[in-house]
Structure 1
Amino acid sequence: MKRREAREKAVQTLFQLDGTTLPVEEAISYIAEEPVDSFYEMLVKGTREKQESIDEVLTGKLENWSLDRLPKIERTVLRLAAYELLYNEEVPHKVAVNEAIELCKTFGDEKSGRFVNGVLSKFEQQRM
């Protein structure tokens, strides 16, 4: 499985998990075929495990929005991208941001891509 496909499946899984008590392993079994791709699994499990700290960071970068008010797809993509930006050092920041924008084009609309880009650009500004 290529990384783009892994990210797409991760968004689908995380979207499914948002607001439910469904166990991560069960959600993964609905989306991924055996054997489960390690990058995909790392994205899903890592994002879920770090979700509280990711949400804190994202809340600080949202202007005039709360995380709960965001459309579910934007919230899901932002969480996944924030996980990669904060906890996955092997993925360059630009790649993580570009992939998030592409995920928005696939699952959201043009506005969601611009919004996600604006929020994620604050991660890069903070690094400088």
Structure 2
Amino acid sequence: MKRRTAREKALQALFQIDISKADTADAIEHVLEHEQGDEYLDKLVHGTVGHLQEIDAEIKGYLEKWSLDRLAAVDRNLLRLAVYELKFCADEVPANVVLDEAIEIAKLYGDDQSSRFINGVLSKVKQGIS
């Protein structure tokens, strides 16, 4: 599975976990739709869920006039996924790749403003982590 596909499926699984409180393993299994599992997909979902409080705290620090709860669910979970990659996969994935991928996925799954919003928040997170 390509990493882009793993990220898209991870976003879908995180969305299910966030909205319907699905079990992590069930959410991953559901998005795989009987395809073979993927190590990077598992790492992204389990890692994001495992560090959720830390990731949410990081995101909250860069939201201006917004609360995490008010964000569109797609945007919230895409930010969580990207912040996980920025913080915990930096040795594996360059920060610019994380931002580019998140912006492209936002264009596919978010609304008209999502990609700009995601770019703005993640750029600040990237500077804060560096």
TM-score category of the 2 structures, normalised to the smaller one: over 0.9
Counterpart residue identity of residue 96, structure 1: V
Matched, 1:8 2:8: yes
Q: How many percent identity over aligned positions?
A: 48
**Structure 1 residue 109, shift from structure 2 partner:** 2.5
Matched, 1:56 2:62: no
Counterpart residue identity of residue 94, structure 1: N
Alignment match, 2:25:
25
Gaps of 5+ in 2: none
TM-score (norm 2): 0.93
Residue by residue, what CA displacement relative to the aligned partner does 1:75-117 show, whole Å, maximum 9, x if unpaired?
0100000000011121100000111001101101231000010
Alignment match, 1:111:
113
Alignment match, 2:45:
44
Compute the RMSD of aligned alpha carbons.
1.2
**Structure 1 residue 53, shift from structure 2 partner:** 0.5
**Structure 1 residue 34, shift from structure 2 partner:** 4.5
Residues 52 and 80, structure 2, Cα contact 8 Å, conserved in 1:
yes
Alignment match, 1:102:
104
Aligned counterparts of 1:106 and 1:59: Cα–Cα separation in 2: 24
Aligned counterparts of 1:8 and 1:127: Cα–Cα separation in 2: 24
Alignment match, 1:80:
81
Q: Which contiguous aligned blocks of 4+ residues in structure 1 show a shift greater than 3 angstroms?
A: none
When residues 108 and 21 of structure 1 are mapped into structure 2, their CA distance, relative to the original with a 3 A threshold, is closer
Number of aligned pairs?
Answer: 128
